Amino acid sequence: MRKILFILFLLINLSFAFDLNKFEDRQSVLQDVKTMILYEESIAKAYEEHILKNYSIPNDTNISSLIGTLTLKNDISATIHVSTLNTKISYNLKSEIKTTDEGIKTLYESNTYRKRTYFRDGEIYFLFEDEFAKHLYDLIKVHGALPTTCSVSSNCLKNNHIYIGIESLESGIPKTYLIAYQVDNFKNGPIIITNDTSKHITESAFDSIPKGALLYDVDGVKYVKTLDGIEILK
């Protein structure tokens, strides 16, 4: 039994080509863990930047072209994959390290060095910082990339305006819809919304409108987005 354990220990150390019991090797691995975490943070940033620039959700190739590939001194990283529709990254620490050294595992899974990413249920998830990027993500995740040609029962990007929930068109331009706004006005308004107030409550598209944004329905009635929903201004 001791011989088997010794062989396993030897194989693990040979495969890593470093000894975690040595101070220098351990410090080198810890630095690599930090580099891995910061790379994952860069993925979150690149993901958001791609959405804001291209109005589409990026894949692994898109992200790699923005931030390059991960380079480490030691062989401790698994293959990184971004689950684009779920805003999460595959667990990046090799299973051999994860099961061999609890301290390194704890550092990788902790919030140390993390601002936009976090560990949960065996995956690394990331957060949006920009409200508009999160709003676009919510739209694209459900309906796909925003086309520049508008059609009924869809969303589109036309003449720097985004139209959501199109119900009718006139000469290719949305005539009735749930929400419409100029891209630069998303965070503060004005945003044009349907005058069907029941849809202000039932349609999820209204959920990601920023708090405090000024809204007008198609009849010119003035509203504001609050923590509780969409409230009329008198």
Write the pLDDT tens digit of every residue in 108-118. Answer: 999 999 999 99
At 145 the pLDDT is 84
Residue 68 in domain: yes
Q: Based on the domain organization, do 93 and 186 belong to the same domain?
A: no
**Residue 230 exposure: Cα atoms within 13 Å on the Cβ side:** 28
Q: Based on the domain organization, do 110 and 7 belong to the same domain?
A: yes
Q: What is the dihedral of CA 151, 153, 158, 161, to 10 degrees?
A: 160
Q: Based on the domain organization, do 155 and 218 belong to the same domain?
A: yes
Q: Based on the domain organization, do 8 and 89 belong to the same domain?
A: yes
At 234 the pLDDT is 78
Q: Based on the domain organization, do 161 and 89 belong to the same domain?
A: no
Condensed to tens digits (0 to 9), the pLDDT of residues 202-214 reads: 998 899 899 999 9
51: its two tokens:
């959405």
Which of 56, 75, 224 has the alpha carbon at shortest distance from 140?
A: 56
Residue 140 in domain: no
Residue 139 in domain: no
Residue 132 in domain: no
Residue 182 in domain: yes
Q: Based on the domain organization, do 159 and 86 belong to the same domain?
A: no
Condensed to tens digits (0 to 9), the pLDDT of residues 172-186 reads: 999 999 999 999 999
> Which one-letter amino acid corresponds to residue 195?
N
Which of 57, 226, 212 has the alpha carbon at shortest distance from 133?
A: 57
Tokens 């000469």 -> residue: 171
Which of 177, 214, 213, 170 has the alpha carbon at shortest distance from 195?
A: 177
DSSP string for 106-166: HHHHSSTT-SSEEEETTEEEE--S-HHHHHHHHHHHHH-SPPSS--TTS-EEETTEEEES-
Q: Based on the domain organization, do 95 and 155 belong to the same domain?
A: no
At 17 the pLDDT is 66
At 10 the pLDDT is 40
Final residue of a structural domain among 126, 156, 186? 126
Q: Based on the domain organization, do 88 and 178 belong to the same domain?
A: no
* Gap between the Cα atoms of 193 and 71, Å rounded: 48
Q: Based on the domain organization, do 115 and 11 belong to the same domain?
A: yes
* Gap between the Cα atoms of 188 and 131, Å rounded: 11
Q: Based on the domain organization, do 80 and 116 belong to the same domain?
A: yes
Number of domains in the chain: 2
Question: Which residues constitute the domain of residue 165?
Answer: 145-232
Kindly report the average pLDDT of the chain as a whole number: 89
Q: Give the pLDDT band of residue 99 (cuts 50, 70, 90).
A: confident
Residue 131 in domain: no
Condensed to tens digits (0 to 9), the pLDDT of residues 120-160 reads: 999 999 999 999 999 999 989 888 888 999 999 889 999 99
